Amino acid sequence: MAMMSEVWQIVAASCALAIGVGSALGALPTLIMDAVPVSRTAATVSLNTLMRSIGTSVSSAVAGVILAHHTIDFDGVTLPPRNGPRTVLAIGGCRRRLPGLRVLHLPRAVGRQLRGGTRAGGHGRGKVRR
């Protein structure tokens, strides 16, 4: 967090957080679809989307509260100090590791059976042995 004295440094930290969150949340629907039966795919992916929306709203609210809490009054003018954005970025940096840890606890799909007897993950090649 020592690297927060210039605007480009804050932009670089924000971009790193966005890349990490985007890559983790982008891969999550595929992992979810591999881990659940075909009959539950739509429900689980839509639940994932709902949780992402709630998480985005809550994290924006928390960041706003943190930034509002860290303002200082200087000769009648309210100013944001350096601690506010640093705290938000530190929380975001710690928080972005959680989706990756959750992925480790997803059950591994050996191969789901789709309609017609094909296996998921094999791109429709071959039949499932019964």
Residue 128 near residue 115 (C-beta atoms within 8 A): no
Distance CA 27, CA 45 (A): 12
| pLDDT (tens digit per residue) in 26-47 | 778 888 888 888 888 889 889 9
Residue 118 near residue 127 (C-beta atoms within 8 A): yes
3-state helix, strand, coil split of the chain in percent (to 5) is 65, 5, 30
Lowest-pLDDT range of 4-13, 53-62, 97-106: 97-106
Banded pLDDT at 54 (limits 50, 70, 90): very high
For the whole model, what pTM was predicted?
A: 0.58
Lowest-pLDDT range of 51-55, 63-67, 83-87, 124-128: 124-128
Distance CA 31, CA 45 (A): 10
Q: What are the boundaries of each domain within the chain?
A: 7-110
Banded pLDDT at 123 (limits 50, 70, 90): very low
Task: Give the residue, 69 or 80, on which the prediction is more confident.
Answer: 69
